[in-house]
A and B are shown apart, each in its own frame.
Chain A
Amino acid sequence: MIARVLIAIGAAVLAGLLALPGPVWPLLPAQSLEVEVAAMNAVYGRLAAIEGGGGSQVANDRGDSALQALAGMDVDADELAVLRYRMRNFSSALELVFLWRLADDPEMLHSATIPKPRGGDQTFALDQLPNWQGRVVEIGFGQIPTAMQTPPGTPFPPFSIESIRLESMSLSNALRAQVDSMSALRPWAQRSINSLGRELSEAPRRSTLVPIVVALATFILLSLILLRRRALLPVLAAVAVVWLLVDWSWQRQLLAQNRLTERTVSTAPFADVDLAGVADRFRAWYRQRSEAPKVLVAAPSAYTTYRMIWHLLPIDAATWNVALGRVDQLVPGTLILVPADLVDRVVAGTPSDSTLTPQRSRRVHVLDEWQVIEVVGGGVTP
């Protein structure tokens, strides 16, 4: 029976390898390009070579982000479709972004968030990125505060880039990419509540589950054929092992997210502290007024608009979109909170049912880059 179970395990492993998104031959990468880290240019932050080799150290004493780039490359994206990188002491509060330019459109900068480095070599299959194609003339790495989690302005401790390699796809690289993708640390994103796995990119082209399921299905099928009625226990054990493997990868992500949360929350309760600060000062100014008018928020994005409204509550606030098409119904005294560079979305010289005229509006307060505009005259009497 043990021999038959071993046969089933062997076949399952083989089937799982065949199901990997990549060629099974060659076993090792045929091409490899070592990117000289010391030759990279620090676009933001500092990049200093570590004495005695071992890569370069990245730091930024004044900002919350950094960017390193290497121009003058000539890489065939189809040939070198695997990125391998090793960085040490990478802050949990940072997001790692890979950037590249293509020869046929050098003005266009492509970017993708890639898994955070965890100390050892990290392998990422670039062929899953839609714009990794043609000839690549420049690559770079950016480090930015983790979106919607790390408050902007949070300094990060120095970290080192030890090695960067571009390699061709092979069985070993496909396997490494699979393992690293399963254990990739993906911080919560707004998408997480709806579907996981899209934290790093819009729609991942490959599923890490497919090779695992193929291997498991092969094992179950062969067990049923070879062991018949004695297959129950091996099958149950295989399902349990695979479930634990997948769940272990998920638990690691949860723990990594815990570390990020603890670190960032020790700095600020939420990432948009700057917005909350504006809301606090607006509220203090608002309380001094004799009346409590309605407030409309016009911000550059829906996210900023609704976050501002959330911070303003319980003030009677809503999005400016509510007034679109019915500006004539705005009661005099209604306040509009809008960033200075978006005032023309709210006030325009041409009469319209979706903008106020200069005669019907006046600026009554300024809060950093935000302005408070009051509706005056006309409209409906409350």
Chain B
Amino acid sequence: MSVLLAHLLPLLAGSALYAALIERPRRLDDWLRVLGYGYLIGLALVAVLVAVLSPLPQSVWSTLWMILVPVALVVAIAAWWRPPADRFATANGPLTHLAEPAWSRWLLLALAAWLLVRTMSIGTEVEARDLFAWDAWATWSVKAKVWYLSNVWLPFVDEATWLGDPDSRYLAARHYPNGLPFLEVWFVSANGSWHVPAFATLWPLLWLAAIAIAIGQLRALSLPWWLAATATAVWASLPLINTHAALAGYADLPLTIVLGASGLALARYTVGHGLRHLLLAVALALLLPGLKLEGSLWLLLVLFAALVAALPRKRWLLTGALTVILLWTLLLGLHLPLPALGWVEAGWGYLRAPGVGIDQVLTWRSVGPEIAQAMLLAPNWHLLWWLSLPLLLLTWRGWAQRSALSWLCLGMMATILGIFCFTDAAVWAQDLTAMNRVLMHLTLLWVCWLALLVSDWLQARGSAAPVRQPLPGSGSSA
């Protein structure tokens, strides 16, 4: 029961916060956004409270629920007083959208049935088993298990220090962020004993939250139900995504979802839904380094995309500035402090990030066949990457219209390919280990971006597609 409450309380507090600060729900898709974002925001709140207040690990639940309940109540009352927003109204006038075809309702019912079956399959795995995947029990959950069972926030140190220090613990991955271990402690403390399914259910619930966020945001971005739900189902059906939801414990799926939620909030801002969506996007992006080290890199890209979104008329100026920075880096070198990465040094042929032990000579590594195997040939992504190229070519005229998302998605793809083609990370492409997991970070955003481009293309195509029309009764205030 307490574990159920440990999921519900962040959901309620986070949903109330979202409704109070971002948008009060009115229709079904509004509620999907509120609940999806609410779960993420609530969990972030829990992790921050654990980090700041640091109650004894076994008392985390008993201490924090007393804080979260009044927060949820007060914010819910504030949200109640807030007038509901019209999700199609923007500062630039009402959004146009494709008309909903008659068969849409049947498609939605079929997708709901499919989602139920898939959720049960994933849930069965999570509920039944102990942690299975290697790094789940050898890396990610070690801190949580030590902290909870010893009831002390013991520090994790390097080998040499550990051998001489009786009050510390050793973990090779000690520098990995504590966001997920904090949440695991929250759930097991609510359970009252160390029980893996008590926190492992977080992964399928996050997967469901991502589905709610994606449908909700795509609807708010004026996609018809059939397209929003189909695009979301495309992402939710990807085998590697399902695998990470079922074999809980890795940080890649949470990172994917928070990044996707951040990018979609940014997309809302770019269509004129108001500054609060930009702030939400940045706030979510700031959580990324707390989940996984790669999050620092994605944070930088989100911040750049946010800059592009905030200064649409300066888009070419920003592109020019980025080009100058890149040229500067290549020719003269760059020395920059970054969160979690330390003083990053980059230049022609080298990259150093002492915070995570990166000291790379950048040379071309021939990993084309391995990348093709990971993206196209292995059954990880169904037909996602096969279909991406023709869809991007088909819709290329719409890239500029979605400039912030285009920047973010293409920037991430270029970064990923750059990392695996020019650094020692090529080894992880060759043995098909990290390659797919890093690609995964991009997927939610990528699928939603493609759906937006397709929607724009269908609207522009006009005649053969459903009718383009403004929503009746749309206001013009953001």
Contacts and interface: CB of A to CB of B under 8 A. Distances in A.
B378 A261 contact: no
Tell me the interface secondary structure of chain A in the complex.
Answer: helix
B149 A209 contact: no
A194 B433 contact: yes
A380 interface: yes
A132 B379 CA distance: 24
A306 interface: yes
Interface string B130-169: 1011111110001001101110000000011011101001
Interface in A237-264: 239, 242-243, 246-247, 250-251, 254-255, 257-258, 261-262
A322 interface: yes
B142 A198 contact: no
A229 B462 CA distance: 12
Given A194-B434, A251-B118, A306-B137, A313 B145 contact: yes
B377 interface: yes
A195 B162 contact: no
B239 A306 contact: no
Given A193-B250, A196-B380, A322-B170, A261 B125 contact: yes
A254 B170 contact: no
A265 B128 contact: yes
A257 B123 CA distance: 12
Given A313-B142, A318-B162, A380-B164, A193 B244 contact: yes
Nearest to B170: A318
Contacts of B406: none
Interface string B214-258: 000000000000000000001001011011101100100000000
B12 interface: no
B464 A242 contact: no
Contact of A254 (B121, B234, B386): B121
B112 to A, nearest CB: 15
Interface residue tally on B, bucketed by range: 35 or more
A195 B146 contact: no
* Max chain A C-beta neighbours (<10 A), residue from B117, B234, B432: B432
Interface in B423-478: 432-437, 464-465
Contact of B160 (A229, A232, A292, A329): A329
Contacts of A330: 163
A196 B163 contact: no
A90 interface: no
Contacts of B118: 251, 254
A232 B382 CA distance: 21
Given A188-B132, A207-B378, A261-B125, A196 B240 contact: yes
B351 interface: no
B237 A247 contact: yes
A190 B234 CA distance: 25
Nearest to A149: B132
Contacts of B390: 220
Contact of B138 (A198, A246, A306): A306
Contacts, number: 154
B319 interface: no
Given A193-B244, A194-B437, A254-B121, A269 B163 contact: no
Contact of A257 (B125, B134, B170, B380): B125
A216 B377 CA distance: 15
Contacts of A210: 377
Interface string A141-163: 00000001000000000000000
A203 to B, nearest CB: 8
Contacts of B117: 251
B382 A246 contact: yes
Interface string A312-334: 01101010001100100111000
* Max chain B C-beta neighbours (<10 A), residue from A209, A229, A292: A209
Contacts of A234: none
A250 B150 CA distance: 41
B306 interface: no
A329 B382 contact: no
Interface string A42-81: 0000000000000000000000000000000000000000
Contacts of B243: 188, 192-193, 196
B374 interface: yes
Contact of B159 (A196, A258, A322): A322
Contacts of A246: 379, 382-383
Contact of B149 (A229, A262, A314): A314
Contacts of B146: 313-314
A382 B168 CA distance: 13
Contact of B242 (A194, A254, A307): A254
Contact of A229 (B148, B378, B464): B464
B97 to A, nearest CB: 18
B133 A193 contact: yes
Contacts of B53: none
B124 interface: yes
Contacts of B163: 294, 322-323, 326, 329-331, 380
Contacts of A192: 133, 243, 247
A257 B379 CA distance: 16
Given A196-B243, A250-B237, A258-B124, 17 more contacts: A193-B133, A193-B134, A193-B250, A196-B239, A207-B376, A207-B378, A209-B376, A220-B390, A239-B383, A243-B383, A250-B379, A251-B117, A257-B121, A261-B129, A270-B132, A329-B164, A331-B163
The 8 closest A-B pairs by CB, nearest first: A207-B377, A314-B149, A193-B133, A254-B121, A195-B432, A314-B150, A306-B138, A318-B170
Interface of A: 148, 188, 190-198, 203, 207-210, 213, 216, 220, 229-230, 232, 239, 242-243, 246-247, 250-251, 254-255, 257-258, 261-262, 265, 269-270, 292, 294, 303, 306-307, 309-310, 313-314, 316, 318, 322-323, 326, 329-331, 380, 382
